[in-house]
With several copies, the nearest count.
Chain A
Amino acid sequence: MKFRFTDEQSMLQETASRFLEEHSSSAVVRAAAVTDGLDRALWQRVVAELGWQAIPIPEADGGLDLGPVELAIVFEQTGRRLTPTPHFASALSALAVRTVPDGEARQRLLAQLAEGAICSLAHTDARPHWGTEGVAIEAQATPEGWSLSGAARFVGAGHAADELLVVARSTASGKLMLCAVPADSEGVTVTHQATLDQSRSMANLYCEGVHVGHSAVLCDDWEDSLAVVLNMGRILVAAEQVGCAQAALDMSVAYTGERIQFGRTIASFQAIKHKAADMMLKTESARSLLYYAACTADAWLRGAATAQALEEAAHMVASSAGDAAFFVAGTAIQLHGGVGITEEYDVQLYFKRARALESYLGRPDESRAVIAGLLLDAPSVTGGQGHAA
């Protein structure tokens, strides 16, 4: 039992931290925020120099064959810097493709992703919610394959994607299908969507009778896998949230240590100190659950954990990290006082990011409702877990 980073993992963390400090500065983030939230050159650099895009891809497919723990390490750092790359879309796509049976399309996509191609998972219209009932693209059987029509929102970096992974509901079977759709396919419209949090890149997808050949159907019964992929996504989001919270805490400690009122640094006021202590408590608590959840996701990929264990871990950390990041970033604005609400100071960027992430893929209270279901409606999972970490 060594519940801490290996030397390789620590090195990955340091490399990421150093690289992003230099290449994902406030200026870089702000420049991307006023366009489409993407810095393509930075992504190219990440791809070429760091290879983060290859982390979750098997060696056989040209990847590094690393796991969710390594992804969590990187996303914690990109969350800390609000890094404007399509990394989340890339990682989620890779995890999605890994769930489908082997085949030409799977191999092609994983190989592309390993080389840094941008793919985006388009799974929901999110009206009114994030669940699969929000899937609003229908697949009609045609002689040559399928015809997709409908819309999806919050498609990460979708307008910059080379290929879209579209989740559609078959009008025939009523099941969810996962289809590989080149972005330039006829009938596909993808447009960037400005968001309250300007620093994440989101797009809207409209499909009007988009033709999809049989070979492009990656899976024709993907509902359970989608649930798994979204739980993986929740863990990566949580990693961003932990990084976001850490950054907001760090800048608050720094600012209050310099700001002088009543002849004292405001950091010397117990009210400020205790807020900071609570910020750290929540950040570290979320971090502990994050590492557990990442290990559980890793175990799932190795077939050593059930989908329910992954579900539990993902929603536990979604609840914890979501609340933590919003509380910490919101409190950070409070501790900054007047300047905290100015456009000039970065703390507001973290606050907006925390707000966006807290509601992405479901609110913390919705995650707690899932946990309650596992505890209270199904056979208990609390008991007998004494030493099963």
Chain B
Amino acid sequence: MQLDFNAADEQFRAEVADWLQANLQGEFAAIRGRGGPGDEHHFVAERKVWEQRLAEGGWTCIGWPTAWGGRGATIEQQVIFHEEYARAGGPGRLGHIGETLTGPTLLAFGSDAQKQRFLPGIRAGQEFWCQGYSEPSAGSDLSNIKTRAQWDEDAGKWRFYGQKVWTSLAHESDFIFVLARTNPELSGHRGLGFFLLPLAQDGIEIRPITQLTGTAEFNEVFFDGACCDAEDLVGEVDDGWRVAMGLLGFERGVSTLGQQMLFQVELDEIVRIARANGAAREPALRQRIAEAHIGLRTLRYNSLRMLSGADDGSLSREAMIYKLAWSNWHRNLGKLAMDVLGPDAEVVEGAPYELNRLQSLFLFTRADTIYGGTNQIQRNLIAERALGMPREPRGNQ
């Protein structure tokens, strides 16, 4: 059992750190630490330029095969990159949907033409993607998709009608991948297609969703006749579910340590405030601060187990608990931040409703246990997949 990274990996770490140190300067100094969760809508233009700088340095898509411009980086190297990126205060990645979702999907299921057309733009930090999965009636129940894809014989194109929701940065993206119903006769997992659409066209309307913070990171995307070509269908007609699910398998948790680095920054700030305002002397808060520290370290070693897991990438027990673990830890951290701040937690300095970082943390973390599979869905998955307990029956409403 081996906790440390080997020498080669540590050298790779140094290389990443040096490059980021050298490049997060000048025009990019202003976007250090910006654009993260809850801040995604800030400095978008600057962050797009930053994506291109990353690309020039060869730091986009490092997990991709070299044939497509990647480095074929090992799990360890990818982990290290994410860690150092977070440590250096690298801005929120506008390219991550393309790099981590679109790319791997096309590499696994895409046609050569699709790879030729789309991978280079992602790798170069030139073309940005957003994801079209959830719908108002397809949240936890993702297979309940109503958006229709109709083949328009005359135009020789697929046309789309319906609505997607919780699409982050849709208004800043060039393309969207859409899971849509190709066969209205079929329901559930069957009769869905996986399509690649340009966003800049008629028949697509993007509306921001204002959240409890007063800011809007998510959007609704409405389709009314928007279209794509026949070759923009990934995989077979009616076989989109397999493609969409395969995509979820690609996340081997390489970004989790990077995420934890951001959590650590938040916890450190809370500790700093507690020491400054006397909260650190209150036994009840001391217990909770210790719990937060222990919980974050738990996430770390849980991730290391996960990343050291079976080489076939099969989902291990510790991988199945990760979402439930981090989201509840983070939500509790938000509450802890408020209690450590004490009466100051209520004070909003910037009018009309400009929240400070910990106030945003508190409100935003309520979403952590909802998106990407609610606590309830996660517990179902753990019970059913990890423990082999009976599945929840579907209803017929």
Contacts and interface: CB of A to CB of B under 8 A. Distances in A.
Interface of A: 1-6, 9, 34, 69, 126-130, 153-154, 193-198, 202, 249, 253, 256-257, 260-274, 276-278, 280-281, 284-285, 287-289, 291-292, 294-295, 316, 319-320, 330, 333-334, 337-338, 340-344, 348, 351-352, 355-356, 359-360, 363, 365-366, 368-369, 371-372, 375-377, 380, 382-383, 385-387, 389
B67 to A, nearest CB: 27
Given A376-B274, A382-B267, A268 B390 contact: yes
Interface residues of B, number: 102
Interface string B313-353: 00001100100110000000000001100111111100111
A294 to B, nearest CB: 7
Given A5-B1, A196-B346, A376-B275, A265 B397 contact: yes
B211 A359 contact: no
Contacts of A330: 366
A interface SS class = helix
A333 B209 contact: no
Contact of B286 (A127, A270, A372): A372
A343 B212 contact: yes
B294 A320 contact: yes
B264 interface: yes
A143 B355 CA distance: 46
Interface in B45-60: none
A128 B346 contact: no
A338 B309 CA distance: 32
Contacts of A253: 387-389
Given A288-B298, A386-B87, A376 B289 contact: yes
A266 B48 CA distance: 40
B257 to A, nearest CB: 8
Contacts of A261: 137, 139-141, 144
B5 interface: yes
B180 to A, nearest CB: 19
Interface of B: 1-6, 9, 13, 76, 79-80, 83, 87, 134, 137, 139-141, 144, 165-166, 209-212, 214, 261, 264, 267-268, 271, 274-275, 277-280, 283-284, 286-287, 289-291, 293-294, 296-298, 300-302, 304-305, 307-309, 317-318, 321, 324-325, 338-339, 342-348, 351-353, 355, 359, 362-363, 366-367, 369-371, 374-376, 378-380, 382-384, 386-390, 392, 394-397
Given A195-B347, A342-B210, A380-B268, A4 B397 contact: no
B392 A269 contact: yes
B321 A372 contact: no
Contacts of B325: 281, 285
B286 A376 contact: yes
A44 B274 CA distance: 43
A198 B384 CA distance: 35
Contacts of A126: 342-343
Given A285-B298, A285-B325, A372-B287, A389 B4 contact: yes
Contact of A281 (B309, B321, B348): B321
A196 B298 contact: no
B305 A288 contact: yes
Given A284-B302, A368-B291, 14 more contacts: A3-B305, A129-B343, A195-B346, A196-B362, A253-B387, A262-B144, A273-B389, A292-B301, A294-B1, A320-B298, A342-B211, A342-B212, A368-B290, A369-B283
